[in-house]
Amino acid sequence: MKRETCKVLVIGAGPGGYVCAIRAGQLGLDTIVIEEGRPGGTCLNVGCIPSKALIHAAEEFHVATGLSGENPFGITTSAPQIDLARTVAWKDGIVARLTGGVAGLMKKAKVRHLAGRARVVDGKTVDVDTPEGPVRVSAESIVIATGSRPTEVPALPFGGDILSSTDALDLTSVPERLAVVGGGYIGLEIGTAMAKLGARVTVVEAAGRILPQYDAELTRPVSKRLESLGVTVLTGTRAEKFADGGLHVTTGEGAEIVPADKVLVAVGRAPVTAGFDLEELGLTMTGPFLAVDAQCRTSMRGVFAIGDVTGDPMLAHRAMAQGAMVAEILAGTDLSWDKRAIPAVCFTDPEIVTVGKLPSEAEGCEVALFPFAGNGRALTLGRDDGFVRVVHDRETGLVQGIQAVGPGCSEMAGEFALALEMAATLTDIADTIHAHPTLGETVQEVAMKGLGRALHI
């Protein structure tokens, strides 16, 4: 067996793993990263990036379709068509470009990449099954960054016409009828895209409403938009099986069949902690996740964990921040996790952004809301649905949370997070000049409203 040694061994080259490896390499640490697939992990290969490419293509097609009929812009076009296979090829080209970029960045940082499946031997040793044969790697420190995978429903196993989110992003034709099991962000993002491409979509959600992690005020514009797109939403409904040309479900009124050619199962994601002998280390767990402290250390000395395997929020940018922090710690810097704000974005139509506390979570706070209908830029874009909302301390004006729902509001997530990290008050935001005309003006406007001096509402 071939043998390798290193200072830092990272298992998994997803957003957390590759960032950790690159930063460790930049800091002069001898680093090896193990990845069975292409660099970038779920997010880059079969998640965040390809799904946003599909969402963009679907929106372009939907807009073109709208312009083929009567429209307020005075534009006349013929009825558009889509070759989804070409769309998927375009999406795959973006992914290939980015994965190649990640590989290049790791090489630039002098990170060694072992392509293969890892198997943990002990807290300092990992065996790797590579195409060239087995390799044993001995490391001073190990970083577990194995990510997560789609959760499977026992009654609806993936395969054939039952799709995971990964499968749905590789469809080369638009299904005539699509049932989506799960009204969370993954199901709604893909389901909305398919509806815009012409599929008849039905969303089946067990909870009382879609996107149950958000409050009803935030999700109401999304529900309204789904209705306008012809998407049927069944809440309080459980999927039982797929047979006889449809999805069998149980509602409060009994059993029925949802006609469907394909079923997308999107009920969440589960951490990847099995399949590579990690249990040999006997690490402390918190439910299905690896327990870590404020420095991402596990219960075993010299073993760290970052990203989705460490629990919620299971977000790529959280994993990246953890990975960069761990690399600094391994290089000797005394750091610990002290983030006040981690933005979460739901790329539905309209988009949802949340940072910090929701109104229901903040005691002694007040809430101010400014609608996009009062923003000139939103009107020129032809979409004024949604709003920006700020949760602030009643006495000091300290911003505790900012949320928004509206087209394009994901691009404001950085400003929202910065406001919380910098401990901004309403006055700080209200007295900061925002460019006109932009959607970002709504952030200044909502702060002004919270101070009782709104101008445009």
How far, in Å, CA of 446 to CA of 375, rounded? 11
Other C-beta atoms within 10 Å of 92: how many? Answer: 15
Its CATH class, for the domain covering 344-450, is: alpha beta
Q: pLDDT class for 177, splitting at 50, 70, 90? A: very high
The alpha carbon of residue 143 and the mean position of all alpha carbons in its chain are separated, in whole angstroms, by 22
- What is the helix (H) or strand (E) element at residue 258, kind and residue range? strand 254-259
pLDDT tens digit sequence for 190-248: 999 999 999 999 999 999 999 999 999 999 999 999 999 999 999 999 999 999 989 99
How far, in Å, CA of 6 to CA of 12, rounded? 16
Relative to beta strand 148-150, strand 269-271 is antiparallel
pLDDT at 399: 98
pLDDT at 83: 96
Task: Taking each helix axis as running N to C, give the angle between helix 441-450 and helix 413-421, from 0 to 180 degrees, rounded to the nearest 10.
Answer: 40
pLDDT at 321: 98
Give the CA radius of gyration of the chain. Answer: 24
Residue ranges covered by each domain of the chain: 2-149+270-330, 162-267, 344-450
162-267: CATH topology is: FAD/NAD(P)-binding domain (3.50.50)
Is the pLDDT assigned to residue 252 strictly greater than 90?
no
Other C-beta atoms within 10 Å of 144: how many? Answer: 31
pLDDT tens digit sequence for 21-56: 999 999 999 999 999 999 999 999 999 999 999 999
Q: Which of 294, 296, 292 is nearest to 326 (CA)?
A: 296
Q: Which CATH superfamily is domain 2-149+270-330 in?
A: FAD/NAD(P)-binding domain (3.50.50.60)
Residue 113 sits at the vertex; the CA angle it makes with 107 and 119, to the nearest 5 degrees, is 160
In this chain, the answer to whether the domains covering 162-267 and 344-450 adopt an identical fold is no
Say which amino acid occupies 242.
Answer: F
- Residues with catalytic function: 436
How far, in Å, CA of 392 to CA of 414, rounded? 18
What's the whole-model pTM score? Answer: 0.95
Average pLDDT over residues 65-84: 94
